[in-house]
Amino acid sequence: MRVAIVDDQVLLREGLARLLAEAGMRVVASEGDVDSFLGAVDASHPDVAIIDIRLPPTFTDEGLRAADLLRTRHPGTAALVLSQYLDAGYALRLLESFPSGVGYLLKDRVSQVAVLIDAVERVVAGECVVDPSIVSRLVSRTGPAGPLGVLTPRERDVLGLMAEGRTNSAIGQRLYLSEKTVEGNVRRIFDKLGLTDTPEDDRRVLAVLAFLRA
C-alpha cells in the first residue's frame, strides 16, 4: 500500500509515517502544504492520501480543499482526512464532494494501528469511514421524542454503523446478524425516516448523516 501524507507539523508526519511503516505500508510522500503535496501525488501516484484538515496558510479548512483537488486530479486515490476536532458540517462537506473512498477521523484515533489499517483498507476499497464519535454525538443529540424515536434499538444500532460508513456485511459481522437481516433493517430505517435515497446507493452515508444533522 502506497501512502502520501500532508501535515504541517513535522512531529506528527514522522510519527504517522512510522506507524504506517510498522503496519506494512509505504510512505511515498510526506509534505507540509497543499501545493507540494499535490506535486508529490502527481509524481508518486499513491493509493491513499492522509490529509490534515488544518493546513497553511489560513489553518481552517485547507485540508478539505486539498481533498477536493485530489478528487479532481486523481480520482483513483482515496483520501483519509484527519482533524483535531470533528465537525459534522465538515464531514458532510467532504462526503458531498468526495462520496466514496474517503474517510474523516479524529487525528489521534489512528494511533491504534488496527484502526489505522482498517480505515486505510476501507477507503482504498471505496468505502466511507466516518469517525464513530461524530455519529454517536449526532444520535445522542436527539432525545426519545426526536425523529429517531420511531426506530427500534436494533435499527438504531444499524443506523449508527451505517452512518460510520460500514457495509451491510460489516454491520452484520458487528451485530452478529446475517447480511439479509441487515438489508431488511436498512430498508425499514429508510422507510421510517422517509429518506429518499435508495439504501444501496453509495451516497447513503451522506444521506444518513445529513438526516441526523438536520
Partner 1 sequence: MPASSGLALFPPGVIPAIVWGVARLVPWAVVAAVLAGVTANVLRLRAEVSFAGPSVAAQALEIGAGAALIVAGGAAGRGPGRWLLPAAGVGWLITEWASPAAPDAAAFTAGLVAVLVALPLVLASRWRHSPVTRALSGLLALAVLLALAGAVVSGPLASAAASPRDGGCTDCARDLIGIAHDIRLNTLLARLGEQFVVVAGLLAVAWLAGSMVRARRHRSLTPSYDLAADVAAATFAAASACGAAVLLRSGPADTLAYDSRAAADCALLVLSAVLAGFALRTARARRMVARAAVAVADDPAGGAADALAAALGDPGLHVAYPARDGTWHDHRGQPVVLPERNVTMVTDEGEIVAAVVHGRLARIDYASLTGAISAARLLLDTERLEAGALARVNDLRAARQQVAEAADAARAGLERDLHDGAQQRLVALRYALGLAGIRAARRSESALSARLTDADRAAEQALADLRELAHGISAAALDVEGLADAVRSAAERAPGPVTIVELPAERLPERVERAAYRLIADSLREMARAPASGLSIAVRRAGDDLIVELTCDRAPGGEWPAYLGDRVAAVGGQLQRTADHGHQRLIAVLPCE
> Residue 49: which H helix or E strand, with range?
strand 48-52
Q: Which is nearer to partner 1, 140 or 178 (CB)?
A: 140
In angstroms, rounded to a whole number, what is the distance separating the alpha carbons of residues 61 and 89?
11
Query: Where do contacts with partner 1 occur on this chain (CB under 8 A)?
Result: 9, 11-12, 15-16, 18-19, 22, 54, 59-61, 84-85, 87-90, 107-108, 111-113, 134, 137-138, 141-143, 146, 213
State the minimum distance, in angstroms, from the CB of residue 53 to partner 1: 10
Question: Pairing mode, if any, of strands 78-83 and 26-31?
Answer: unpaired
State the minimum distance, in angstroms, from the CB of residue 110 to partner 1: 8
Which SS3 state, helix, strand or coil, does residue 166 take? coil
State the minimum distance, in angstroms, from the CB of residue 146 to partner 1: 8
Q: Which is nearer to partner 1, 22 or 96 (CB)?
A: 22
Number of Cβ within a 10 Å radius of residue 87? 14
State the minimum distance, in angstroms, from the CB of residue 60 to partner 1: 5
Closest by CA to 45, choosing from 68, 31, 24, 29, is 29
Q: Which is nearer to partner 1, 97 or 169 (CB)?
A: 97
Q: Which is nearer to partner 1, 24 or 75 (CB)?
A: 24
Q: Which residues lie below 8 Å from residue 128, measured CB to CB, with a gap of 6+?
A: 95, 99, 100, 101, 102, 103, 122, 165, 205
State the minimum distance, in angstroms, from the CB of residue 27 to partner 1: 13
Closest by CA to 6, choosing from 44, 52, 72, is 52
Q: Which is nearer to partner 1, 175 or 210 (CB)?
A: 210
Instruction: List the grid coordinates of 25.
Output: 505500508
